[in-house]
Amino acid sequence: MPTHPTRSASPLPRTSWLRRAATATVAAGALAGLIAASPATTASATPAAAHTTASSPSAFAAPDIPVANVKAHLNQLQSIASRNGGNRAHGRPGYRASIDYIKAKLDAAGYTTTVQQFTASGATGYNLIADWPGGDPQNVVMAGAHLDSVSAGAGINDNGSGSAAILESALAVSREGLKPTQHLRFAWWGAEELGILGSRHYVNSLPSTERSKIDAYLNFDMVGSPNPGYFVYDDDRRLEAVFKEWFAAKGVATEIETEGDGRSDHASFQRVGIPVGGLFTGAGRVKTAAQAQKWGGTAGQAFDRCYHRSCDTTANINDTALDRNSDVIAHAIWTLSTSR
Ligand code: DTR
Ligand code: CA
Ligand code: ZN
Ligand code: ZN
């Protein structure tokens, strides 16, 4: 993997033109190492005439994300698992069907989608990359979630929740006709449960000139845990603040995420110096009495007692946590992609 110049912990300053002086001009959506999985793999459509621009005040106010829409995606992922042996794991038909579901929604919404193939544990894996046409290709804001489940179950909280939340934000960008100043890119990763392999393949396949254009990668892995906590990644102060300030304005306490350093797809980006942020509502760790005091729920019980189990179904979701996190994800995407 080419060495990548170490980057500062927080995004480079506005005058990052120097960072790219030698950058070859590569269209944001043309990513090295992308292989069309099928003739219909790459599709694009001209988005509806956009009426929201970065200069208009509304560009800074993300819309409310209807949690019912997010749950409808989870219902679809549950049905996919039920029709495909009970899971959506890497290498299994349920995973490819999950990719196809999300890709169809994005193609219809005007995204330029690409399915990136890779091989892991002897099986073909797939990453889905979706670029929102427009924005400065030299300044990319990414949001991602792994789409694969463990083989034990449907993986609705882990990580249908993150996948559905960013999908609904991407669809809201289209509905609103957002014209961000930065280029917006979304990603759904394969084989995270095998060791963060899909996102690792994506980053390894990116030339360093493409990596240097990514100003931020936001990761959402488990954002609807049934006994939720509100944890914010603290890897980058600017990105952390975007989430924390939104929650504070809503009167929701947050804690720094400590369970997951290196345990999800943000690690693939962090290791090459790209600023990362994200949210987490908890997995197998037990909620303390102090945490139950501020967040509600049950002390002495795991944040998600169905973590990596067959009971991780649509019944394993806290709607309030899913709603709040879907809304703050949209807020972060709006804020970070219209900030120049
Ligand atoms: N690696 C995730 C679950 C996970 C556990 N701790 C954290 C912290 C932050 C993000 C994710 C996680 C998985 O099993 O998919
Ligand atoms: Ca909402
Ligand atoms: Zn997992
Ligand atoms: Zn996960």
CATH of the domain at 118: 3.40.630.10
Ligand 4 centre distance from Cα of residue 90 (Å): 13
Q: Ligand 1, residues 231, 263, 307: which to mutate, most atoms within 8 A of Cβ?
A: 263
Ligand 4 centre distance from Cα of residue 264 (Å): 7
Does residue 137 lie within any of the structural domains? yes
Tell me what the mean pLDDT of segment 149-158 comes to. 98
Atom of ligand 1 nearest to the CA of 266: 10
Q: Is the pLDDT at 202 greater than 50, yes or no?
A: yes
Q: Is the pLDDT at 65 greater than 80, yes or no?
A: yes
Are the C-beta atoms of 205 and 150 separated by less than 8 Å?
Answer: no
Q: What are 105-140's pLDDT values in tens digits?
A: 999 999 999 999 999 999 999 999 999 999 999 999
Ligand having the closest approach to the CA of 87: 3
Name the nearest CA neighbour of 95 among 238, 193, 218, 222: 193
Does residue 43 lie within any of the structural domains? no
Does residue 37 lie within any of the structural domains? no
Q: Is the pLDDT at 55 greater than 80, yes or no?
A: no
Cα separation values, 294 from 246, 253, 255, 328, Å: 17, 7, 11, 19
Does residue 208 lie within any of the structural domains? yes
The CB of 263 under 6 Å from ligand 1? The reply is yes
Q: What percent of the chain has pLDDT over 70?
A: 82
Tell me what the mean pLDDT of segment 3-8 comes to. 36
Does residue 320 lie within any of the structural domains? yes
Q: Is the pLDDT at 41 greater than 60, yes or no?
A: no
Task: Give nearest CA residue, ligand 1 atom 9.
Answer: 260
Does residue 89 lie within any of the structural domains? yes
The CB of 264 under 6 Å from ligand 1? The reply is yes
Is pLDDT larger for residue 14 or for residue 293? 293
Q: Buried b / exposed e across 51-79, counting CB within 10 Å, b at 16+?
A: ebebeeeebeebbebebeebbebbebbbe
Number of domains in the chain: 1
The CB of 280 under 6 Å from ligand 1? The reply is yes
Q: Is the pLDDT at 104 greater than 50, yes or no?
A: yes
What residues sit around ligand 4, an ion, with C-beta below 5 angstroms?
A: 158-159, 221
Q: Is the pLDDT at 35 greater than 90, yes or no?
A: no
Atom of ligand 1 nearest to the CA of 284: 5
Task: Give nearest CA residue, ligand 1 atom 12.
Answer: 260
Tell me what the mean pLDDT of segment 331-337 comes to. 98
Task: Give nearest CA residue, ligand 1 atom 8.
Answer: 260
Q: What is the pLDDT of residue 60?
A: 64
Ligand having the closest approach to the CA of 327: 2
Q: What is the pLDDT of residue 259?
A: 79
Does residue 240 lie within any of the structural domains? yes
Task: Give nearest CA residue, ligand 1 atom 7.
Answer: 260
Are the C-beta atoms of 245 and 339 separated by less than 8 Å?
Answer: no
Radius of gyration from C-alpha coordinates of the chain: 19
Ligand having the closest approach to the CA of 323: 2
The CB of 158 under 6 Å from ligand 1? The reply is yes
Cα 261 from Cα 135, distance rounded (Å): 31
| Per-residue confidence band for 260, with pLDDT thresholds at 50, 70 and 90 | confident
Range of the domain at 323: 16-23+60-337
Q: What is the pLDDT of residue 103?
A: 99
Q: Ligand 1, residues 221, 225, 230: which to mutate, most atoms within 8 A of Cβ?
A: 221
The CB of 257 under 6 Å from ligand 1? The reply is yes
Tell me what the mean pLDDT of segment 141-159 comes to. 99
Q: Give the contacts of 6 (CB within 8 A, at least 6 positions apart).
A: 273
| Per-residue confidence band for 227, with pLDDT thresholds at 50, 70 and 90 | very high
Q: What is the pLDDT of residue 39?
A: 34
Q: What are 69-98's pLDDT values in tens digits?
A: 999 999 999 999 999 999 999 999 999 999
What 8-state DSSP symbol labels residue 29?
Answer: T
Query: Average pLDDT over the chain, rounded to whole?
Result: 87
Ligand 2 centre distance from Cα of residue 324 (Å): 6
Does residue 44 lie within any of the structural domains? no
Task: Give nearest CA residue, ligand 1 atom 14.
Answer: 193
Is pLDDT larger for residue 209 or for residue 259? 209
Cα 29 from Cα 114, distance rounded (Å): 8
Q: What is the pLDDT of residue 2?
A: 31
Q: What percent of the chain has pLDDT over 90?
A: 80
Cα 318 from Cα 296, distance rounded (Å): 12
Residues with active-site annotation:
192
Task: Give nearest CA residue, ligand 1 atom 5.
Answer: 260
| Per-residue confidence band for 340, with pLDDT thresholds at 50, 70 and 90 | confident
Strand partners, 141: 184, 216
Q: What are 263-275's pLDDT values in tens digits?
A: 999 999 999 999 9
Q: Is the pLDDT at 171 greater than 90, yes or no?
A: yes
